[in-house]
Structure 1
């Protein structure tokens, strides 16, 4: 959160040196300094209150205080996401699975969760466990919080077959994933073979898991596994199952925003690197960097803003930002944004000219009126 103490000086005194202070509920939160902004990172509900600011000349001869402004911090309505444990979209009958509703609002004492299966309510609570699942438990599950936010659907498939290919519920770019060729526990299993898009990617081995590794766009496809399963009195037979793996975008391409608009010489300027994360990965840790004309001006850190105080004309240029996951596996860069710092004096001169024209026009009207009279 950024609070700005705005003031105006007459054209003849634009170079007057000023200092600013900020208050909440009458108590000082930022003492007098040349900084006309007050920033709060990771805002909490307790930051609510009546805010005001005070400005004074550096010699202390003149001081003025703003009116109070009530600022009410509200709990953000965060779209929830359904997660599974174990993290598989498909399970066998008689197995158990726990679904969790991650996210929600911070308003009041916390959200209330309602679970839906195929649009019908089935459970209340943050988690929903299905013990000894049956095929009737297959379906599309969503959770909704008391704020009205509802998750995307999460599909669960409960199988009574011999073999299932288990894949994670969500797969995002940069993930490390395994897929598992799983036989029903009441039958012993033998060797396993894996396919992708009908091509063998690993021949017969005793390992029922296939490690895909770091995910990118080429990971998406239809996977299939074959497995030897002992059907009681029968010899080993080859049963198979397939699953489609879709790769979702973890990070959107960031955009860079600038305040204030326009930026005038001697302003304090803030650039923000804006990005979006999917609901299921809202807690992904990110780092940000900023560039001007391709040269780095703020190295990677958890800070998604870049600030320049007392901006000068030479700060003009093409700005961009870059965001990466803290493990460095995924990195994306914004487009460049041309930022032209405007000369405050010229803007004032232009205003003076307008005022002079207005006065001259008024004089002409008065003179014309007198002549007519």
Structure 2
């Protein structure tokens, strides 16, 4: 028996996907070719080609064995395949799926900064990235953002520089790289270290009394690694300079007055002026150590009577009573030097003791405060006796008149009764 079996010849080979260029970079163009080979005796056979991505048609059946994608993006990555069939659809063959990964034009950018940035230091942020070596020369631009807000727009520089960093420069920084597309880095939090704390005003003594000495100190703390930093200090009262910039952190006021009260503050700055901080205003009220003294005296002092003057005042609760002394004056002349006794006593007053009296109060930390003048008149006893005698005479005369009037009434009544008795006797 003869062998009459014939081999079935392939009309065309199983297609294969070919992609150019390789690798495929985002923003570029990608070409997919569906390759197959016809049998030599069937070179006139017409074939139809369909392209697929992730199993879905991306280019319908046609004679073109090429599928092009322009300005490819990362999301164009996927599994691609193609299918070849005869026009009568009797023969159909599909290629194996080929994974095509679109690569970024530039590497994901990262942001770096100088370590341990202190207030006043220059700060430089660098946005680092790399272009794919297979790409053509491309213009790259960089931008920087802080807490989501742009601090430097797109330029060709990959650096963002701050001449003198401050605490408000702390924040979350990102950078963006723009070629055909824009790529953003991950956020990096940058902490600017405090060079010195915000200064505070300290007052001594507390409270401050009139005519005492007041010392204001501007206090701050330097960061340990920068203890040698030189700071200049300025003092203000009501917003105006009372002691200009200098290394001295103390402001002294001698013999303070009530008008020295006000809002005080101080400002510290580095010698190069890069870092400057001002304290909060502190209200300082100059207080009287005691209220305005007043003199109290026994009223109606007569010649020969004892007389006592008392110097009254209300002490501040911060003043100890033992620290208070009193003095007395008449017509500007000293009657009693400063003692802890607030009374001035005269055992037997005379007319010449009349005059304008004042008293003064002082403490060990404040000078004296003077009372208002009080005029004291010593009464004369002779004038007083004459006045009394006149009153006695007036009273005596008044009594005599009353008695005479009473006698007249009495005699009148007696006479009337006697007349009535005589008339009765005549009738009988």
Where relative contact order (Cα < 8 A, 6+ residues apart) is larger, the structure is 1
TM-score where L is the length of structure 1: 0.49
